[in-house]
Amino acid sequence: MSDALKQKNFVVLSIALFAFMLAWSVGLAKPLIDFMDPQSEAVSYIINKGVLAIVIACALWKMGAFADVGYRKGAGFFSSIASYMIGIPLMALGILSLMDPNRATLTPMEIAPWVVAIFLIAFTEETLFRGVIWKALENASVWTRAITTSALFGLMHFIPAGMGDFGWGMAAVYGFSAGGFAMAFAAMRERAGSIWTVVVAHILFDIAAISQAGNVSQLLEPGMETYIRFATAGVLFSTWGAVAILLINRRNRKLGAA
């Protein structure tokens, strides 16, 4: 298969998987979840994201494309360390959320199903956005890849939340914050040269946030405090990610000129 045809296949795959994930999230998953009648929100997420994980994994297996989308060794040990350093504020925010005295954290038994759900969330979201779509935009600049994947990531969180129980106001700040986080994830992806560090950072952040909030519904409970918290996070992390990408670009140009 020629490189041009392979690249075209990734473009088609990214569009198809994005459309399926969006449709699945806003309604297609509901009949299956209702039929299986899960007894907790965590199990609902396991069912929901489990199907998405199977679809994405099967598509990549059929194409033999796991390495192409970032599941490979990457640029080396020091690049991985540098990538984690970019993600430190994300993980720190998750850990700091555990220190909120107004809510009790989940017990180990309560958090266990959420760990499974969060692993599936991180796998599906990072594989699609920082994996398949990132690869589909391989010939574009890193700024184009970062902004496009971040905007689509925010949109994927905005639409399902708005069509769900949270309202469009909460959905807007939630989608905006997700887009901000995605800019930091994009910088991590570019620096590491692989997707592994981004998946790990995503898992650690979500585990900390969910274990403190109790579940997604409480995490997104509408209110001025929630709006301010998510909007602030969106601004801070979009800025942090953009600065990191700027520095990575400068470093790459210097290495290219050497």
**pLDDT in the model for residue 238:** 95
156: tokens are: 């994927």
DSSP code string of 220-258: T--SHHHHHHHHHHHHHHHHHHHHHHHHHHHHHHHHHH-
Instruction: Give 2-31 pLDDT, tens digit per residue.
Output: 777 888 999 999 999 999 999 999 999 999
Q: Chain-centre distance of CA 194, in angstroms?
A: 14
Predicted pLDDT at 258: 63
What is the pLDDT at residue 103?
A: 61
- Residues written for the chain: 258
Q: Residues of the chain whose pLDDT is less than 70?
A: 1, 94-106, 258
CB 245 within 8 A of CB 186: yes
CB 34 within 8 A of CB 141: no
Query: What was the pLDDT predicted at 99?
Result: 53
Q: Mention every residue, 6+ apart, whose C-beta is less than 8 A from residue 160.
A: 22, 25, 26
How many domains would you assign to the chain?
1
Domain hosting residue 34, numbered range: 3-257
Q: What pLDDT is attached to residue 93?
A: 72
Q: What is the pLDDT of residue 104?
A: 59
CA dist., res. 44 & res. 152, Å (int) = 24
pLDDT tens string 77-111:
778 899 999 988 877 776 665 555 566 566 778 78
Task: Answer whether 0.85 is exceeded by the pTM.
Answer: yes
DSSP type of residue 106: P
